[in-house]
Amino acid sequence: MIEFKKLFCDLTKSCSGKQEDTEKVALPQEQKIFTIQSLISATNNFENKLGQGGFGPVFKGKLEDGREIAVKKLSETSKQGKREFTNEARLLACIQHRNVVSLLGYCAFPEKLLVYEYVVNESLDKLLFKSGKRDVLDWKRRYSIIDGVAQGLLYLHEDSHERIIHRDIKASNILLDKKWRPKIADFGMARLYPEDKTHVNTRIAGTNGYMAPEYALHGNLSVKADVYSYGVVVLELISGHKNSTFNLVPECQNLLDWAFKLYEKGKGAEIMDPTLATSADPNQVATCTQIGLLCTQSDPKLRPTIRQVVVMLSKKGGPLNEPTRPGYQGVKTRRPSRPSSSSSSVGASSQADSVSSRSTTTGSTWAFAGSTSHAHHNHRGSSYISSVSDPHGKRPIEG
Ligand SMILES: Nc1ncnc2c1ncn2[C@@H]1O[C@H](COP(=O)(O)OP(=O)(O)O)[C@@H](O)[C@H]1O
Ligand SMILES: [Mg+2]
For 283-338, how does the pLDDT look when each residue is reduced to its tens digit (9 = 90+)?
A: 999 999 999 999 999 999 999 999 999 999 998 768 999 999 999 865 333 333 33
Which residues does the annotation mark as catalytic?
168
Q: Is the pLDDT of residue 340 over 60?
A: no
Taking CA atoms only, the protein residue closest to ligand 1 atom 12 is 51
Residue of the nearest CA to atom 16 in ligand 1? 186
Q: Which of 203, 205, 207, 204 is nearest to 350 (CA)?
A: 207
Give the CATH number of the domain where residue 367 resides: 1.10.510.10
CA–centroid distance, residue 53 to ligand 2 (Å): 5
CB 354 within 8 A of CB 393: yes
Percent of the chain at pLDDT exceeding 90? 55
Q: Looking at the predicted structure, is the pLDDT value of residue 81 above 80?
A: no
Per the model's pLDDT, the better-predicted residue between 380 and 84 turns out to be 84
Task: Say how many domains are in the chain.
Answer: 2
Task: Encode burial over 27-56: b for 16+ CB neighbours within 10 A, e otherwise.
Answer: beeebeebeeebbbebbeebeeebbebbbb
Query: If you count DSSP H runs as helices and E runs as strands, how many of each does the chain have, helices first?
Result: 11, 17
| Ligand that comes closest to the CA of residue 393 | 1
Structural domain including 349 reads 121-399
Could you count the other beta carbons within 10 Å of the beta carbon of residue 250?
Answer: 6
Nearest atom in ligand 1 to the alpha carbon of residue 54 is 22
pLDDT at 162: 83
For 107-128, the pLDDT digits (tens) are 988 889 999 999 999 999 999 9
Alpha carbon distance 364, 322 (integer Å)? 34
pLDDT tens, residue by residue, 158-176 = 988 788 999 999 999 999 9
Among 78, 101, 117, the domain boundary falls at 117
For residue 24, how far is its CA from the centre of ligand 2 (angstroms)? 33
Both 71 and 166 in a single domain? no
The predicted-structure confidence for 29-70, as pLDDT tens digits, reads as follows 456 899 999 999 999 999 999 998 777 899 999 999 999 999
For 84-111, write each residue's pLDDT tens digit.
888 888 888 888 999 999 999 999 888 8
* 47 and 163 belong to one structural domain: no
Query: 233 and 328 in one domain?
Result: yes
Q: Of 87, 117, 147, which residue is a domain's last?
A: 117
In a domain, 331, yes or no: yes
Please name every residue paired with 107 in a beta bridge, in sequence order, or none if there are none: 113
Enumerate the β-bridge partners of residue 56.
none
Same domain for 51 and 105, yes or no, is yes
Q: Let me know if residue 6 belongs to a domain.
A: no
Q: Are residues 155 and 302 in the same domain?
A: yes
Q: Say whether both 134 and 257 belong to one domain.
A: yes
Q: What is the pLDDT of residue 31?
A: 62
- 303 near 297, Cβ under 8 Å? yes
C-alpha angle 110-113-118 in degrees, rounded to nearest 5: 150
In a domain, 103, yes or no: yes
Last residue of a domain, one of 72, 97, 117: 117
Residues 169 and 252 in one domain: yes
Nearest residue CA, atom 21 of ligand 1?
A: 55
Asked if the structure places residue 8 within a domain, the reply is: no
Domain of 59, CATH number, reads: 3.30.200.20
241 and 288 assigned to the same domain = yes
Give the integer Cα–Cα distance in Å for 86 and 112.
9
> Whole-angstrom Cα distance, residue 196 to residue 203?
20
Domain shared by 271 and 158, yes or no: yes
Show the ligand 1 pocket: residues with CB < 6 angstroms: 50-51, 53-56, 58, 70, 72, 101, 116, 118-119, 122-123, 172-173, 175, 185-186, 188
The SS3 of residue 316 is coil
Q: How far apart are CA 279 and CA 143, in angstroms?
A: 11
Contact 169, 292 (CB under 8 A): no
Nearest-angstrom CA–CA distance, 307 and 115: 30
- For residue 3, is it within any domain? no
* Same domain, residue pair 289 and 384: yes
Domain check: are 311 and 179 in the same one? yes
Indicate if 179 and 102 belong to the same structural domain. no
Q: Are 350 and 307 in contact (CB under 8 A)?
A: no
Entry pTM = 0.81
Within a domain: 5: no
What pLDDT sits at residue 330?
A: 54
Asked whether residue 98 is domain-assigned, the answer is yes
- Residue 104 domain-assigned (yes or no): yes
